[in-house]
């Protein structure tokens, strides 16, 4: 059972480039979310989804887009990368949107130069 | 808005000694509280959670945490640490049920274990 799978593990971008961070879960979870982790700041919520076709903004959504066309996949798009987006990105899921433990992927470390 | 404070950025402890990590939260209602652990290069793993009931919660790997409403705290403890407990620990608080599963995380405490 793979759980939450994130690809790639590492990525280096130049300022202005675009890319998509992939996230897939095989647990049939309705709720999925993206966090970014920065030193001393813990994890901050970027976007989340309570089901296929439904997404909403979290605490730090600027510069990121998401979509949820299937229950399994929740990609995060950076349209024009900026150095401030250098971070470690985590995808997480839970069975429903009701408060419950999140299941995390292993993260994507992104560097923007 | 909810917030979580972990006052200690780093803690160094000797193997076999006890460990206590502090967590204070700000929240207007009964919180849902979590502790997660992150080993280097890995995602976050749930150690334990508090939703209601007994305020002393047991988790995995020999950890426990105590919810103290009067102090707005949810401190994590382990009686005797092992070298494998070296990691970063995050406290998190969850929102009311109608607001989705949006957890707010503290800044983390990095634990170093001396032999």
pLDDT (tens digit, 9 = 90+) per residue, B67-104?
Answer: 999 999 999 999 999 999 999 999 999 876 556 788 89
How close, in Å, is residue B83 to chain A by CA atoms? 22
Cβ pair B66, B56 in contact under 8 A: yes
Strand partners, B66: B56, B75
Residue by residue, pLDDT tens for chain A (113 residues) are 689 999 999 999 999 999 999 999 999 999 999 999 998 888 999 999 999 999 999 999 999 999 999 999 999 999 999 999 999 999 999 998 888 889 999 999 999 99
A contact residues 52-111, partner B, Cβ 8 Å cutoff: 56, 58, 90, 92, 94, 96-102, 104-107
A97·B100 Cβ contact <8 A: yes
A98·B90 Cβ contact <8 A: no
Give the SS3 label for residue B15. Answer: coil
> Parallel, antiparallel, or unpaired for β A42-51 and A87-94?
unpaired
Q: Which long-range contacts (CB under 8 A, 24 or more apart) does A44-48 make?
A: A44/B105, A45/B102, A45/B103, A45/B104, A46/A76, A46/A89, A47/A76, A48/B100, A48/B101, A48/B102
> Parallel, antiparallel, or unpaired for β B64-68 and B73-78?
antiparallel
pLDDT (tens digit, 9 = 90+) per residue, B31-75?
Answer: 899 999 999 888 899 999 998 888 999 999 999 999 999 999 999
A4·B43 Cβ contact <8 A: yes
Query: Which residues of chain A have a CB within 8 Å of the CB of B43?
Result: 4, 90, 104-107
């Amino acid at each position: 059972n793979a759980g939450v799978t994130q690809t790639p593990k590492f990525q280096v971008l130049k300022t202005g480039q675009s890319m998509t961070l992939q996230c897939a879960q095989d647990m049939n979870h309705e709720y999925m979310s993206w966090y970014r982790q920065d030193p001393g700041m813990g994890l901050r919520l970027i976007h989340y989804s309570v089901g296929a076709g439904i997404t909403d903004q979290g605490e730090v959504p600027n510069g990121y887009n998401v979509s949820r066309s299937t229950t399994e996949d929740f990609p995060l798009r950076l349209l024009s990368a900026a150095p401030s987006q250098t971070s470690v990105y985590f995808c997480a899921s839970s069975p429903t949107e009701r408060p419950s433990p999140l299941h995390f992927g292993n993260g994507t470390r992104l560097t923007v130069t | 808005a909810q917030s979580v404070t972990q006052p200690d950025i780093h803690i160094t402890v000797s193997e076999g000694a006890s460990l206590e990590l502090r967590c204070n939260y700000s929240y207007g209602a009964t919180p849902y509280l979590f502790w997660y652990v992150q080993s280097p290069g890995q995602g976050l793993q749930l150690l334990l959670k508090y939703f209601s009931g007994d305020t002393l919660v047991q988790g995995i790997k020999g950890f426990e945490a105590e919810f103290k409403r009067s102090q707005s705290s949810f401190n994590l403890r382990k009686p005797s640490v092992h070298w494998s407990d070296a990691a970063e620990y995050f406290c998190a608080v969850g929102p009311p049920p109608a607001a989705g599963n949006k957890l707010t995380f503290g800044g983390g405490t990095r634990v170093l274990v001396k032999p």
